[in-house]
Amino acid sequence: MSRARLKQEQLAALAEEENQEIRKLELRIAEFEHLRLAQKSDYEALIVRRDFLGGQLIRRNDEVALLSEKIEIQNHILRSGNDAFKTLLDEMRRTTILRNDLQRRAGF
């Protein structure tokens, strides 16, 4: 009988240890669940930020494309203006040469 009681007490002590271990594990599970929820919240905030920045990036790329197109148009206008200026300079030189030639022939 005393052996049975001793065995029963040992089993009760083991059961109590197991229950304590279960409570510790439940606390750890609760902590990890809290941590998981916090990380999930952070992750969702990062997704929102990523989407916002992605939208901004698309708008900025559109602006860059538009500005690049405007720069190309301005460069084309500048080249056309330079070509027209060179043509006028050549025409002025020819006119000056012609005038000087006519003045020389006329005796001026």
The string of DSSP letters for 3-56 reads HHHHHHHHHHHHHHHHHHHHHHHHHHHHHHHHHHHHHHHHHHHHHHHHHHHHHH
Angstrom CA distances, 17 to 10, 11, 32, stand at 11, 10, 22
Percent of the chain, pLDDT > 90?
92
DSSP state, residue 1: -
Residue 31's pLDDT is what? 98
Q: 67-105, pLDDT tens digit by residue?
A: 999 999 999 999 999 999 999 999 999 999 999 999 999
Mean pLDDT of the 7-13 span: 92
Instruction: Kindly report the average pLDDT of the chain as a whole number.
Output: 96
- And the tokens for 34? 């809290």
In whole angstroms, what is the distance from residue 57 CA to residue 37 CA? 30
**Per-residue model confidence (pLDDT) at position 47:** 98
Residue 108 pLDDT more than 90? no
Helix (H) or strand (E) holding 95: helix 2-106
Tokens standing for residue 2: 């005393």
Is pTM beyond 0.85? Reply is: no
